[in-house]
Structure 1
Amino acid sequence: MTPVAWMHFEQSAILTVHNHVITRNPRISVTHDKHRTWFLHISNVQEEDKGRYMCQINTVTAKTQFGYLHVVGKLIWA
């Protein structure tokens, strides 16, 4: 299986590499569907999580995909 990495682009932070979480942030996890789809999970999303995220497939010529996370408000439990 080709290694896949997730990064927070603006923070220049590597979050995960393959199945391993690199960041010390316990809210970050990664899963995949055993085929071609990898998912970055952020639990309890906070304002500082906003920004551009990059998924990179480490083939001979790296392939990248960017996404942007907007945080729009707080969830208040009653």
Structure 2
Amino acid sequence: VIWTNQRHTLLTMRDRRITDDVRIMVVRDHPGEWNLHIRDVEPSDQGQFNCQINTVPVKINKVNLFVLGEYYENDIFSI
């Protein structure tokens, strides 16, 4: 399982963070879940994120993040 952003930047692979952005992590509350968490969400984080499962055929789930309102430090957004 990999997560990428709209610029096709690799963010995570399995449960490991690949990006230098320490606000990003994968949380697995249950088996089979690969949730992308972004701490301290900022307006610049807005956009499309892709979760790719390397099966045959490859499965891709696209998620759009919209950042509305004020910026609050220490907020976590899970997709």
Q: TM-score range by the shorter chain?
A: 0.7 to 0.9
Q: Return the TM-score normalized by structure 1.
A: 0.84
How far apart, in 1, do the equivalents of 2:15 and 2:29 lie? 12
Unaligned runs of 5+ in 2: 74-79
Identical-residue share of aligned pairs (%):
37
User: Shift of residue 60 of structure 1?
Assistant: 2.4
RMSD: 1.6
Aligned to 1:8: 5
Aligned partner (choices 68, 71, 79) of residue 72 of structure 1? 68
Indicate yes or no: 2:35 matched with 1:39. Answer: yes
Aligned to 1:50: 46
Q: Return the TM-score normalized by structure 2.
A: 0.83
Unaligned runs of 5+ in 1: none
Q: Which runs of 4+ in 1 moved over 6 A?
A: none
User: Shift of residue 33 of structure 1?
Assistant: 3.5
